[in-house]
Chain A
Amino acid sequence: MIRNSHEARLELIKAGLKRRYAKEKIFRAVGISAITAALIMLAILFASITKNGYSAFQQTFIRLDIFFDSQVIDPDSTGDPTVLSQADYGGLVKKALRDMFPGVGKRREKRDLYSLVSPGAAFQLRKMVMDAPGLVGTRQAVWVPADDDIDMLVKGYIRAAGDGSGRISARKAAWVKSLVSKGAIEKRFNTAFFTGGDSREPELAGIGGAVAGSLYTMLVTLILSFPLGVATAVYLEEFAPKNIWTDIIEVNINNLAAVPSIVFGLLGLAVFLNFFGLPRSSPLAGGLVLTLMTLPTIIIASRVSLQSVPPSIREGALSVGASRMQAVMHHVLPLALPGMLTGTIIGMARALGETAPLLMIGMVAFIVDIPAGIFDKATVLPVQIYLWADSPERAFVERTSAAIIVLLAFLLIMNALAVVFRKKFEQRW
């Protein structure tokens, strides 16, 4: 009788076991498919951005045989820098092009011919002469950037159309062909993309200014938000009495972490710009706004990391006669610091990708000069991406993607750093 009921129970368990295993299998399958779906999406994102953007790291250059005519640049051989800087370098470029294609005579044809090279070519020659005045009077082969339309043609993004529908006339396409056969067109690494400021000519536009702006903005944010955030967390966690006021503060901090970033931009406009009169479009104002935005994140991460330090550490320190301040500074804080740093880096990474609050304080702007300090006018990387994405010129499509690649690389480095910190300094009890 007893034996029978025991067997019956076993039967019951066996019958159920199969079902329970099956359930677990399904659960795992669902989990794996969720991860796979996420990874596929990520792969598609990376693949499409890389596919669109990798070509922007190269730029088409045209070799011109430039004669630095002393009659044009410095007719009186003064060697005076102001004379050198005001010379007609565009004329030298045009002359070189005319010499290359002697048959071109009509006004419209000439216009087409001159538009083969970037307007930046003249600035490049000017810089060469300013740096080395000895060039005047010599003949040099100079590689100058091609116009963005030619760049797109060489890279195969647009085709020359005979019916006049395209950007490139059959005439221009023929010239490009002849240049290619002469070896006077070459794709080279696009240094200007990394060193240059913004430009309306895609072939001259670079992310140098935006990267510098991001750097200054992040510096202000880090310098302000890290000490403030950590000090707030330490006080709230280790020293503050637990009463209704600290509860209210805690609720407010958690709330602030969820406030949409544009709200911080409006606050920044009202307080930093209108009340304190900080300069519009400056990394200082941008950094302050982003500080407001990242502070709650840092405070919350720091508090969690302080909470995870076991009470025995504090009690041990106190029991050998340390003051509360000593217990916190000598024992608790060093153990909690890796977690705080991780939180800070993640907060900073979020701030690095932010555009909405900066719109309000004038950092969404066309800025050519590379900022030299936190009071200069500046823009940041994600804003640069946004501005380029809205530009009509075709060549900005690939440059937008290339800028995204750079931004993603920065984010990846920061997040990897956070992981490394955690792994290296993490303590387990």
Chain B
Amino acid sequence: MKRPSGAALLLILFAAATVMMPLLAPAAGAAGRDYISIVGSSTVYPFATVVAERFGKTTKFKTPKVEATGSGGGLKLFCSGIGVRYPDITNASRRIKKSEIDRCRANGVKEIIEIKIGYDGIVLANSRKAERMNISRKDIFLALAKDVPSGIGESLIPNPYKTWSDVNPALPDISIEVLGPPPTSGTRDAFAELALQGGCRKFGWIRAMKKTDKERYKAVCEAVREDGAYIEAGENDMLIVKKLEANPHAFGIFGFSFLDQNADRIQGSIIDGVEPTFENIASGRYPLARPLYFYVKKAHAEMIPGIKEYIREFTSEKAWGPEGYLIDKGLIPMPDSEREKFRSDGRSLRNFSM
């Protein structure tokens, strides 16, 4: 029998397993953590990662780990408790909710520092091969809502519009085809709130409903049509950009940084007469802009090395200032006074309350 015996082989493998395991594992192991753990919004991810990378390269601390879990998922992990197993910082493309603060409290996360980092614009864009669209929020609502006012009294009908010119004769005569993120996305939430609700409020009787029947108001204003005119294209914004290039009749919804990086292929539609440019979003004139945040656990600032320095890096002028490196990545900076407020909040680890 010249073959190696099976038993011997198995023994060798088991031996290898037992010998290799401790070799592979540096003594520290699971006990402590010497790097910052960051979770949260995929919209803030491109900015947080740049700061993390620079922070890791220019200080003695390790590079923080950044996960894109979505704003809601990030806050859920963040509020799960205190200790090295839980993340130190969560990014959010919306403000933390009351219910989330309560959840944090219940799990021992009593002190949270809130830092607003800047703004992000949401754009409705199409290929440069096609004409640029000049549209109002009301038209966006009529084109994309599930149910629209019938025009007779205060009643709703399922969205009958097939082409943009059906909605408003001034718009082009091409069929409505919009690629956008799925409901799990923060961008979709913000688009529904800013664009759809913004357009929806133009109907007086629906706006009046907000006071009487808030739930129905939200349902009417934020429901997106499901007959194929709005296409859920997944969380990958870059994919939407490529699809727009291939199909000049289609429009896409995504964050401003993608428009900024691909300005030679796509153009942003003018909304309520305002073009989505850096200046217009920063000045607050562009209607589809939202603030971006990150939240820090105060209890971890003493426990995990580098958290204070990370906040310092993020809130420094060379990062988020009007000429900082985050701006090159597509972040819209806050006015000086707001930057000053959040910088001092961050540096003094000021507990935030709603």
Please report which residues of chain B, range 291-335, place their CB below 8 angstroms from some CB of chain A when the two chains form the complex: 323, 325, 328-330
| Min CB gap A97→B, angstroms | 17
User: Using Cβ atoms and an 8 Å threshold, which residues of chain B touch A278?
Assistant: 30
Residue B264 interfacial (CB < 8 Å): yes
Quick check: A224 and B263 within 8 Å, CB to CB? no
CB of B197 closer than 8 Å to a CB of A: no
Is A367 within 8 A of B65, CB to CB? yes
A369, CB-defined interface residue at 8 Å: yes
If A166-B263, A393-B261 touch, does A368 touch B52 (CB 8 Å cutoff)?
yes
B30, A365: Cβ atoms closer than 8 Å: no
Which of A231, A334, A372 has a CB less than 8 Å from the CB of B5? A334
Establish whether residues B264 and A159, one from each chain, have CB atoms under 8 Å apart when the complex forms: yes
Instruction: From the candidates B5, B53, B323, name the one contacting A330 in the complex (CB within 8 A).
Output: B5
Contact check: which of B9, B13, B45, B328 meets A366 at CB < 8 Å? B45
Task: Judge if A9 is at the interface, Cβ distance under 8 Å.
Answer: no
Checking A219, A226, A277, A392 against B238 with a beta-carbon cut-off of 8 angstroms, the contacting residue is A392
Least distance between B127 CB and chain A CB atoms (Å): 12
Q: Are B264 and A377 in contact (CB under 8 A)?
A: no
Contacts of B62 in A (CB 8 A): 369
Which chain B residues lie closer than 8 Å to A375 at the CB level? 25-26, 28-30
Closest B residue, CB atoms, query A367:
B65
Does A23 make an interface contact (CB < 8 A)? no
What count of chain B residues pass the 8 Å CB interface test? 60
B263 touches A167 (CB 8 A): yes
* B49:A200 contact, CB within 8 angstroms: yes
- Number of A interface residues, CB 8 Å? 57
Measured between beta carbons, the chain A residues less than 8 angstroms from B21 are 223, 374
Q: Which residue of B lies closest to A166 (CB)?
A: B264
CA distance A164 to B49 in the complex (A): 28
Q: Are B65 and A366 neighbours in the complex by a CB distance under 8 Å?
A: yes
In whole angstroms, what is the CA distance A219 to B49 when docked? 28
Per the bound structure, the CA–CA distance linking A277 and B86 in Å amounts to: 11
**Interface pair B68/A280, CB less than 8 Å apart:** no
* Nearest CB in chain B: distance from A355 CB, A: 13
Q: Cβ of A391 and Cβ of B65 under 8 Å apart?
A: no
B236 at the interface (CB under 8 A from A): yes
Residues of A contacting B49 with CB < 8 Å? Answer: 200, 366
Contact B30 A277 (CB under 8 A): yes
Task: Give B residues with C-beta under 8 Å from A.
Answer: 1, 3-7, 9-10, 13-14, 16-17, 20-21, 24-26, 28-30, 33, 35, 37, 42, 45-46, 48-50, 52-54, 56-57, 62-63, 65-68, 85, 128, 235-239, 257-258, 260-264, 267, 323, 325, 328-330
Distance between B138 CB and nearest chain A CB, rounded to angstroms: 29
A353 within 8 A of B: no
Q: Which residues of A contact B (CB under 8 A)?
A: 111, 115, 119, 123, 158-159, 161, 165-167, 199-201, 216, 219, 223-224, 226-227, 230-231, 273, 277-281, 284, 328-334, 337, 362, 364-369, 372-377, 389-394, 396-397
Please state if B6 and A329 are interface contacts (CB–CB under 8 Å): yes
| Nearest 8 interchain pairs by C-beta | A333-B6, A368-B63, A366-B66, A166-B264, A334-B3, A365-B67, A329-B7, A392-B261
CB neighbours (8 Å) of A167 from chain B are 261, 263-264
In chain A, what residue has the closest Cβ to B12? Answer: A227
- In Å, the complex CA distance between A377 and B236 comes to 24
Known: A328-B6, A362-B67, A365-B65. 13 other contacts (CB 8 A): A158-B264, A166-B264, A223-B17, A277-B30, A279-B33, A284-B25, A331-B1, A332-B6, A365-B67, A374-B25, A390-B238, A392-B261, A392-B262
Known contacts A158-B264, A373-B25, A374-B24; is-contact A226 B30 (Cβ 8 Å): no
Q: Determine whether the beta carbon of A337 is less than 8 Å from that of B6.
A: yes
A356 vs chain B, min Cβ distance (A): 14
List the A side residues contacting B20 at CB < 8 Å: 219, 223
Candidates A199, A224, A392; contact of B330 at CB < 8 Å: A392
Residue pair B329, A200 in contact (C-beta under 8 Å): yes
30 A-B pairs within 8 Å (CB atoms) are namely A111-B323, A161-B264, A200-B50, A200-B329, A223-B16, A223-B21, A226-B13, A227-B13, A227-B17, A230-B10, A277-B30, A277-B85, A281-B37, A284-B25, A328-B6, A333-B6, A334-B1, A365-B66, A366-B68, A367-B63, A367-B65, A368-B63, A369-B35, A369-B56, A373-B24, A373-B26, A374-B25, A392-B262, A394-B261, A396-B238
CB contacts (< 8 Å) of B264 on chain A: these are: 158-159, 161, 165-167
Q: Tell me if A165 and B128 are in contact (CB < 8 A).
A: yes
Grouping DSSP codes into helix (H, G, I), strand (E, B) and loop, the A interface class, with mixed when no group exceeds half, is: loop
What is the distance, in angstroms, from B128's C-beta to the closest C-beta of chain A?
A: 7
CA distance A281 to B33 in the complex (A): 12
- Are the C-beta atoms of B1 and A330 separated by less than 8 Å? yes
| Contact A368:B53 (CB < 8 A) given known A119-B325, A391-B46, A391-B238 | yes
Q: B235 touching A390 by the CB < 8 A rule?
A: yes
Contacts of B237 in A (CB 8 A): 390, 392
B26 contacts A372, CB within 8 Å? Answer: yes
Q: How far, in Å, is B160 (CB) from chain A's closest CB?
A: 35
Using Cβ atoms and an 8 Å threshold, which residues of chain B touch A158? 264
| Most B-side CB within 10 Å, residue of A280, A284, A372 | A280
CA distance A279 to B325 in the complex (A): 32
Q: Are A337 and B65 in contact (CB under 8 A)?
A: no
Q: Is A368 a contact of B30 with CB atoms below 8 Å? A: no
Q: What residues on A are CB-neighbors of B33 within 8 Å?
A: 279
A95 to chain B, nearest CB (A): 18
Q: Which of B24, B65, B325 is the one whose CB lies under 8 Å from A377?
A: B65
Report whether B65 and A281 are in contact in the complex, using a CB–CB cutoff of 8 Å. yes
- Docked Cα-Cα span, A119 to B67, in Å, equals 23
Identify the interface centre among B4, B10, B35, B328: most chain A CB within 10 Å of its CB.
B10
**Residues of B contacting A115 with CB < 8 Å?**
328
Whether A224 touches B67, Cβ cut-off 8 Å, given contacts A337-B9, A377-B35, A392-B238, is no
B57 (CB) vs chain A CBs: closest residue: A123
Inter-chain CA distance A307–B35, complex, in Å, is 50
Bound complex: CA A265 to CA B125 (Å) = 36
For A330, A333, A392, which residue has the most chain B Cβ atoms within 10 angstroms?
Answer: A392
Q: Is the CB of A279 within 8 A of B3?
A: no
A102 to B124 CA separation, bound complex (whole angstroms): 42
Identify B6's interface contact among A123, A219, A334, A364, CB under 8 A.
A334
A280 proximity list for chain B (CB < 8 A): 37, 85
Residues in chain B near residue A227, CB distance under 8 A: 10, 13-14, 17
CA distance A329 to B66 in the complex (A): 49
Asked if residues A231 and B65 are in contact (CB atoms below 8 Å), the reply is: no
Which residues of B lie under 8 Å from residue A119 when comparing CB positions?
54, 325
Which of A199, A230, A365, A372 is within 8 Å of B53, CB to CB? A199
Beta-carbon contact of B236 and A389 below 8 Å: yes
In the complex, the answer to whether A224 meets B10 with C-beta atoms within 8 Å is no
Residues of A within 8 A of B330 (CB): 392
Q: How far is the CA of A245 from the CA of B68 in the complex (A)?
A: 44
What chain B residues lie within 8 Å of A389 (beta carbons)?
A: 236, 238-239
